[in-house]
Amino acid sequence: MTRTQHVVLKELGFRYDPSNLYQQTIHAVLDAAETLELPHHLQLILAQPKTEIMVHFPVRMDHGHFQLFKGYRVQHNNILGPYKGGMRYHPDVSLDHVKSLAVLMTMKCSLVRLPMGGAKGGVQADPRKLSRDELMRMTRRFTSALAGNISPDHDIPAPDVGTNAQVMAWMADTYMNMVDIEHRHRAQSVVTGKPMEFGGSAGRDKATGQGLVYVLDQMIPELGLKFEQTTYSLIGFGNVGSWTGRLLAMRGAKLRCVMDHTGAIRNERGIDTVALGLHVEKAGGVAGFGMAEAITEEQFYSEKVDLFIPAALEQMVTLDKARMIDCKALVEAANAPTTPPAQRHLREHGVTVLPAILCNAGGVTVSYFEWKQNRQAESWSLERVDHDLRAHMSAAAQRVKLAAHRYGTDLSHAAYIAALEQIGRVYQLRGIFP
């Protein structure tokens, strides 16, 4: 930790804890802020979210009893525009976790130059253990608890781990029923990632994977790779992992191994990503897939591949896992999947780490397109969405490469620099009220 970071965090009353995800995230931001020599007051502002909301709400379960749930919405920064960020349903959702993810949203929106700020939220619950009706009632009650703090002009949630287009449809419908009649239809844009039939955008489901492939288009030649000869491993085969897999398969890359919460599998000749997707839909995970062999976690991490792509949860690639990994580049599809010691180890061993705030920004970019379409009562073609997504992702990748070159630094530090350049400029122009 550098002296200024220590001063900023100490000034805010933090007790130093290097294993805390929020402190790790803020350290990365403050490191870049120091490189850019951002004023101290901006570092203070960015080191804490503007708003942290915690709600407790009861839900009637199918057997008639009531269960109390805990939900969060953290709004980190809105200097660039309305808050934007996903809603997660997972048993491990906590305030610090949501705060970290909200900071990453601020950085991501800025890096891809969207007129949006950063937020994140979620409910501490396991959606796999809820019936469809329980999930709907929990979503509606959570949305009503937050209704005074979200709006199409203020804070616009989206899907994340454990939520999907159906959950977004319930959120939008609940919110639309709570606003005045003259605002009802405009209120649909309170969330993005909705189903196509109900204001969703073409290409939103595949957006994060597609954005990652567009980033790789810019990065892969420098790694000395060609898609057709590239092998890769994936952690996670949910929204991000499965779309990344299917889209990379279309470019000719070969998926060697996949691991998810049910187990790990390998096929030396390449895993059929479409067939695996159908299997996961039925079985709930990759375990038991007939066209691959089951392997251990150690075998999964040790498999030699060109790209290692974590697309599941945060902090899964720890130092001991990084020591097993044998790849040219680690592509962060999930948010903060690599701990700082693991990142250091990988870099020291010549592995390029492509940062999450660049690699997975495709999701929020197409969410922004959806919000724009809703507000203009338009429906764009998939070709237009893909074209505009490619433009945003390619420009962001170039921005990161340029910052890495200009400041002689790694791509992760460079990505935060490129994000903060924009935020710093806007703060300078707007000043601090009053």
Q: Does 121 bind ligand NAD (CB under 6 A)?
A: no
Q: Does 200 bind ligand NAD (CB under 6 A)?
A: no
Long-range contacts of the stretch 250-256 (C-beta < 8 A, 24+): 251/213, 251/227, 252/227, 252/228, 253/227, 253/228, 253/307, 254/230, 255/231, 256/231, 256/232, 256/303, 256/305
Phi, psi of 238 (to 5 degrees): -90, -145
Q: Which stretch binds ligand NAD (CB under 6 A): 230-238, 271-279, 298-306, 344-352?
A: 230-238
Instruction: Name the closest residue to ligand NAD (Cβ).
Output: 238
Edge-to-edge strand list for the sheet holding 254-260: 293-295, 263-266, 254-260, 231-235, 307-310, 329-331, 352-354
Nearer to ligand NAD, 362 or 424 (CB): 362
Q: Least Å distance between CB 366 and ligand NAD?
A: 8
Q: Which stretch binds ligand NAD (CB under 6 A): 17-25, 149-157, 305-313, 407-415?
A: 305-313
Q: Which of residues 347-406 bind ligand NAD (CB under 6 A)?
A: 360, 363
If DSSP codes are grouped into helix, strand and coil, which group holds residue 9? helix
Phi, psi of 360 (to 5 degrees): -105, 20
Q: Return the structure tokens found at 233.
A: 């491993």
**Residue 153: other Cβ atoms inside 10 A:** 11
Cα 105 to Cα 10, 91, 194: the distances in Å are 24, 21, 19
What DSSP string runs through 173-220?
A: HHHHHHS-GGGTTGGGGGSSS--GGGTPPTTTTTHHHHHHHHHHHHHG
Phi, psi of 156 (to 5 degrees): -120, 100
50 flagged as catalytic: no
Nearer to ligand NAD, 43 or 189 (CB): 189
Q: Does 162 bind ligand NAD (CB under 6 A)?
A: yes
Catalytic residue, chosen from 84, 99, 108, 120, is 120
Q: Which stretch binds ligand NAD (CB under 6 A): 3-11, 169-177, 229-237, 386-394?
A: 229-237
Nearer to ligand NAD, 32 or 316 (CB): 316
| Interface with ligand NAD (CB under 6 A), residue from 116, 123, 219, 259 | 259
Q: Does 241 bind ligand NAD (CB under 6 A)?
A: yes
| Interface with ligand NAD (CB under 6 A), residue from 5, 100, 192, 239 | 239
Q: Does 85 bind ligand NAD (CB under 6 A)?
A: no
CB 263 within 8 A of CB 240: no
Nearer to ligand NAD, 147 or 340 (CB): 340
Q: Does 160 bind ligand NAD (CB under 6 A)?
A: yes
Q: Does 161 bind ligand NAD (CB under 6 A)?
A: yes
| Interface with ligand NAD (CB under 6 A), residue from 213, 313, 330, 358 | 313
Asked if residue 49 has a cis previous peptide bond (ω within 30° of 0), the answer is no
Q: Least Å distance between CB 361 and ligand NAD?
A: 7
Q: Among 377, 322, 375, which Cα is nearest to 348's?
A: 322
Q: Which of residues 270-299 bind ligand NAD (CB under 6 A)?
A: 285
Cross-strand bridge partners of residue 289: none
> x-or-dash pattern for ligand NAD, window 317-346, by CB under 6 A?
-----------------xx-----------
Counting residues that bind ligand NAD (by CB under 6 A) gives 23
Cα 119 to Cα 122, 162, 187, 428: the distances in Å are 11, 17, 19, 22
Q: Which residues are known to be catalytic?
A: 120
What does the binding site for ligand NAD look like in residue numbers (CB under 6 A)? 159-162, 208, 235-241, 259-261, 285, 311-313, 334-335, 360, 363
